[in-house]
Structure 1
Amino acid sequence: MKEEKIWLSPPHMGGNELKYIKDAFDTNWISQYGSNIDEFERSLEHYLGKTSYVTALSSGTAAIHLALRLLNVEDGDFVICQSFTFVATANPILYLNAVPVFVDSENQTWNMCPDALEESIKYCIRQGKKPKAIITVSLYGMPFKVDEILQISRKYEIPVIEDSAEALGSKYKGQLCGTFGDLSIISFNGNKIITTAGGGILISRSPDAKNRALFLATQAKDNEEFYSHSEVGYNYRMDNIAAGIGRGQLETLEKKIEQRRKNHDFYQQIVKNNDHIELFSAPDSDFYSNYWLSTIILKNNLVKEKLKEKFSQNNIETRYLWKPMHLQPLYKRYKFFGNNLSGTLFDAGLCLPSGTNLTDHCRARISEVLQNEIH
């Protein structure tokens, strides 16, 4: 009989989620309005600081879509996007019939390469159109090279959309991810460090931008007593029950970050003297990762596949790294700048179980597979 499955990154309840959900039922706010939404937004604004105005939405994908709308991205506009990411980062570009231009990773953070970014901007300018936005990602919780990317963004006067979907609680030089972009997003999907079952936030830098986002997220209703609509809007607002889950989850965030980082330390102890495996880790003390997922690079692809199969046989979930956008059938016709480092990482890497509810028994099962298979 197989032991209970160890999941990659399952939801982990344990705060006051039920209390806030009950409040929503008791007050009959079972809708996209209610005190849970207001308090969740206020709590996140307090946590993030740095002039952060939060709009709670139905997903991180919706947040990226609205960010592009706020930057007036239109049909035919260039939008530069990190290639090594989940497809939700890039898809909203196509929602607006804009043109994605993909940029490779650098090898320290696995995030957007500054040199390739500048090359891509110069290409777009030669085509007669400066890009409308740069979407950069903090992959697996690792902050991107903030100083270098923002310097290029200021040089060419191109706004940055910071995709911190996986990076709540991560920091660069002591400043929280989600506070660097002209607009930023965070995801609360079921596998994230905290969850609202599904959901996300758009973080803007002014009350006017927040109000604009809220207007678009609630079907763009004009200020009339009747239903009047002058532009396209969306049904993107987070509901009051989901926000109640988020309030309870947010109360446990620091503990969850600590637990994820302890998972990374656990893997570090296993692989530290092994020449066949490399654990993805912060390059220096400027980078503080929540280690949403602990990921490894195997020196031999056959070893990677064998290891993945052995985990599966032991009822332990692992997952391949994100397949870069420039290698996806949907996006292969678009321009790509870089040396395909992200493709090399995809070929060699695995994500390991990283949930905040990993027990000592789970760690022992994981350790046994790793130590038996990687030698």
Structure 2
Amino acid sequence: MEGLKEENLKETRPKAKINEDRIWLSPPHMGGEEKALITEAIDSNWVAPGGPFLRKFEKVLSNFVQCQSSLALSSGTAALHLALRLLGIRQGDEVICSSFTFTASANPILYQGATPVFIDSELETWNMCPNALEQAVQSRIVNGKKPKAIILVHLYGMPAKLGEIIDISKKYKIPLIEDAAEALGSNYKGKALGTFGQMGIYSFNGNKIITTSGGGALVSENPDLIKKALFFATQAKDGAPHYEHSQLGYNYRMSNVCAAIGVAQMKVLSERIRRRREIYAYYEKHLSVIKGIEFLPEPKGFYSNRWLSCILIHPEYIKGVNREQLRLRLLRHNIESRLLWKPLHLQPLYRNFPYFGNKFSERLFERGLCLPSGSALTKDQLDFIIGIIKESF
């Protein structure tokens, strides 16, 4: 308790030196074959945004999520931007987006000159609230601004309430894009997240459940959309013997070297999911006994990859301890943790855009903490983290 009473505790005063011994929140975890495949890519001179590993990675990814077409790209943000471009989103349009998420979910809306309309979360999954979504759609239609797309985020790997949200999407004929950046390997009633909407996106950033060092992917059951996305992702070069360009394109393609890492990582993805879920279960078993600590359970039919294990701390039950004090206490012991996402409707960049909800995501931000969840965590490390948390209470 002593450390938690220091209200002015600064991050510049860690107890341990932050070095390679630090317990990170979600570091990359190599599977063993990455180095050999990278060497193979270099030896073959396929180091550009094209090559056999790129094609193989896309095929393996499509097979894993059971989706017809996929396109490997430089980032999940690039994938989301291409999805909006393919739907014809342009200046003056409105696009609905989850508010409780990372800024990359909404930034591509601004890339296209469109206006984001933010939707609050609901209690059971922390994802987009269907009631607030329909309220927003009806309100924008009354104002003569029917939204052109819905960007639905599956936060921390937990599926959103897809049944209700898909019904709203179909009812009002608004295309659905799934931001499954954090949710590769999660599913809703047995079907992979990212494959329910017109398009879905994944991220392979270094902190995700698998990584390509940096990268992302766009998936769709419509191969024509993926073919068009490839055109835009490779600078929109027209079919001519010279460089001819009639449309704006981007340099968004993944490199063959990064794809080689991805091929190796896909081989261990199922094991990574199993281990992340195991870590979540271990935290829940040992910390749920503390009154005032709450976990996010899976509703029936929902399957989360448990990318990050998150807790809510209720100060009304635990006097003198809040999520920021606990974060600083962990930091003093060289343990990285992180606050839950600050809702986008509270961010300086986005606070003047439309928002619909009851501020539930704000309460999540005020009380939530992400615990170290990397799949390479050992039992000793988990016990150390849990011990620090128990001591704090």
- When normalised by structure 2's length, the TM-score is 0.93
Q: In structure 2, what is the Cα distance between the partners aligned to 1:52 and 1:144?
A: 22
In angstroms, what is the RMSD of aligned CA positions? 1.1
2:57 aligned with 1:10, yes or no? Answer: no
For 1:252-309, what per-residue CA distance to the aligned partner results, in whole angstroms no more than 9, with x for missing partners?
0000000000110111111222211101221x23111000000000002843222111
Q: Corresponding residue for 2:307?
A: 292
Out of 327, 336, 355, the residue aligned to residue 346 of structure 2 is 327
Contact in 2 for aligned 1:163/1:184 (Cα 8 Å):
yes
Amino acid at match of 1:270: H
SS in 2 for 1:55: strand
Shift of 1:373: 1.1
Q: Corresponding residue for 2:7?
A: none
SS in 2 for 1:108: coil
2:32 aligned with 1:22, yes or no? Answer: no
Out of 158, 161, 168, the residue aligned to residue 152 of structure 1 is 168
Out of 183, 190, 193, the residue aligned to residue 167 of structure 1 is 183
Alignment of 1:1-375 (within 5 A): 2=16, 4-49=21-66, 51-282=67-298, 284-300=299-315, 302-374=321-393
Amino acid at match of 1:10: P
Q: In structure 1, what is the Cα distance between the partners aligned to 2:325 and 2:145?
A: 47
**5+ residue gaps in structure 2?**
1-14
Q: In structure 2, what is the Cα distance between the partners aligned to 1:272 and 1:298?
A: 11
Q: In structure 1, what is the Cα distance between the partners aligned to 2:343 and 2:325?
A: 23
Q: In structure 1, what is the Cα distance between the partners aligned to 2:155 and 2:367?
A: 16
Q: Corresponding residue for 2:6?
A: none
Q: In structure 2, what is the Cα distance between the partners aligned to 1:15 and 1:61?
A: 28
SS in 2 for 1:201: strand
Contact in 2 for aligned 1:271/1:279 (Cα 8 Å):
no
- Identity percentage of aligned residues: 52
Q: Which moved more, 1:214-223 or 1:355-364?
A: 355-364
For 1:162-199, what per-residue CA distance to the aligned partner results, in whole angstroms no more than 9, with x for missing partners?
00000000011111111111110000000000000110
Q: In structure 1, what is the Cα distance between the partners aligned to 2:68 and 2:355?
A: 32
Q: In structure 2, what is the Cα distance between the partners aligned to 1:318 and 1:326?
A: 23
Shift of 1:61: 0.2
SS in 1 for 2:229: helix
Q: In structure 2, what is the Cα distance between the partners aligned to 1:73 and 1:208?
A: 18
Contact in 2 for aligned 1:270/1:371 (Cα 8 Å):
no
After TM superposition, where is structure 1 displaced by more than 4 Å over at least 4 residues in a row? none
**5+ residue gaps in structure 1?**
none
